[in-house]
Structure 1
């Protein structure tokens, strides 16, 4: 896939998951603190992740989602970015991304988001992308705001964290192409 751009210091590209990505994908998917942000209720096994990599067509229209690996430099996986909850009728999808903790704050997420948007709005013809971001996650809110997403609503008690609930900000970007 020709999704490549430069951050302030290096080349970032997006590519489909490969079998060699199994360990890094498991590390992201099995990070318990990220489960609270999504719908996962437990860890993924190696078997499940191997099947996902092998069987996924990496086609938003066929799979209902599109997962891409963020790669910096030659072949260092820096994170993952997903488009999911795809709604073909209304031409929209949710976006989620995670950057390795040791690489956060280097512009990688912003470059990856711009590449994903270009692909989704340009090639796939989506009308809008959106994200649910916990109100306290100021880094993600800044990232999406810098990418042109509009904070268009607050969803009260949207995610459960431990024994309490937290509000999230709904951010969206409309394709103006």
Structure 2
């Protein structure tokens, strides 16, 4: 197996891990599964030679786990600075700014928002990753982020409709904390 196909296989594994992330209503489970996906896709990006995206994805993994424990602004800004330092240092093409932007806005969302707001902001970050992954030629990355875009979009609409009917789709997560 060539290194290209090995990298694509790692991307396929990330796809399998990430496929159900956005069905979680519980923020903690949502964040932990998103973190596992981010770590695997980060390895995939490094194997594909996309170092800025790889650094952003691995930072996403650590940041997302830490965001389950704290919403401290200092920690949030530390991840923003790390994203800029590691992401910009590995930059080769302008389109590689998109995963950095996606990481920055999702970092803010994970530390400062919850529920439907988090999912809406992450939908925008996902769009940045989709464009990047298609440009890169990442089969698994394009499939998973495209799926994230669709599934998260579907769940945003579903959760919003529940709220319009007076139901709180995130009630289980607020009771578990």
Q: Same fold (TM over 0.5)?
A: no
TM-score, normalised to structure 1, is: 0.30
Counting helix residues as a fraction of each chain, which structure ranks higher? 2
Counting strand residues as a fraction of each chain, which structure ranks higher? 1
